[in-house]
Amino acid sequence: MTNTNADAGGGDRVALAVLTQYRMGTTQQLHRVLAPGVPIEQTRRRLAKLRAEGLVDRVTLPQAGRLRAWFPTAYGVRVALEWPELNGRRPPRLVSDPVAARLRAGHALAVTETALAFLEDARRRGETCLPLDWIPEVHHPIGNGEAVIPDALFYYRSGDAMLRAFVEVDRATMGPERLAAKLTAHARLHRYIPGPTPGRRWHTTTQATEAAWRQRYPIFPRLLFVLDGTGPTGVNNRIRALHAHTRDPAVTAFLRHVPALAAPLADLREHGPATPVWRPIHDPSQKVDWTHTHHP
């Protein structure tokens, strides 16, 4: 006999973990992440229950259809970060009230929609990319108090291969040059070697010459720019700005080791990210799939 109370509790736990990790999602988005095979009313009831318990809250957006965007409360985050599923994760940047949530919603929901493109594609293809394999805002120090914080890091298993990617989602709210500067920042992360901790000495030569990212990843994650908020002309302008940064020798060196690609979010939705909708930053005339590994 099925213990429905236990099942419900497990579903509540997963829902809160996902919302804590993703920062924000509409009812429809969370349904697609959590339980696409059941009626959406079950997801609505689950979210309403979590809200009644003070673990999540929502804001109604002014778009057609009055979208409800959900986000975790400070209490919900404290509860979720105690679970093994989120062990070691940095606390997310919290929104303090519905007004703050509304101001952040556009970008946050575009990041969640990008996650869904990969999650749903993996389900269709019989590959592995689970909801908690998508990790927004992973902090990577690069010295002098600076850090590279991509919109997301995700893990994707295709056959025997484990793939990793950093994702930067751009909704055309910043100029093309500011977007392209993110490429330079990732190049800095790739070559950043931390100095010794004050008061401590290096024990081996290897420690003093190893890039910081190697402490986390066996291979530097590929870099994916997902572009939204404009039509084809705006997308092309942004890809041209990214390509222009390849004249920087440091970026050229970075691209010899790390695939960097760009694609419109609309194409990911329509065709799926595993199709050749991605344009390599070093040669935007090509179109490849995101697992592309050719370097200039």
pLDDT single digits (tens) 75-122: 999 999 998 888 767 777 766 667 777 888 899 999 999 999 999 999
- Give CA–CA dist 282/239, Å, rounded: 10
pLDDT single digits (tens) 202-236: 455 445 578 999 999 999 999 999 999 889 999 99
Model confidence at 130, pLDDT cuts 50, 70, 90, reads: very high
- Give CA–CA dist 245/240, Å, rounded: 9
Residue 110 carries which side chain, given as an amino acid letter? Answer: A
What mean pLDDT, rounded, does the chain reach? 88
Is the CB of residue 245 less than 8 Å from the CB of residue 180?
yes
- Give CA–CA dist 91/40, Å, rounded: 29
Is the model's pLDDT at 28 over the cut of 90?
yes
Alpha carbon separation from 64 to 7, 12, 26, 154, 159 (Å, rounded)? 34, 29, 13, 31, 41
Alpha carbon of residue 159 to chain centroid? 22
Rounded to an integer, the average pLDDT of 133-160 is: 93
As beta bridge partners, residue 26 has 69
Res 99: pLDDT: 77
How would DSSP label each residue in 223-243?
Answer: EEEEE-SS-HHHHHHHHHHHH
Q: Is 282 helix (H, G, I), strand (E, B) or coil?
A: coil
Tell whether the torsion through CA atoms of 269, 270, 275 and 281 is positive or negative. Answer: negative
Count the residues in the chain.
Answer: 296
Helix (H) or strand (E) holding 146, with range, is strand 146-148
Q: Is 116 helix (H, G, I), strand (E, B) or coil?
A: helix
Give percent above pLDDT 90 in the chain: 70
As beta bridge partners, residue 220 has none
The token pair that represents 193 in the structure block? 């070697």
pLDDT single digits (tens) 40-84: 999 999 999 999 999 999 998 877 567 899 999 999 999 999 988
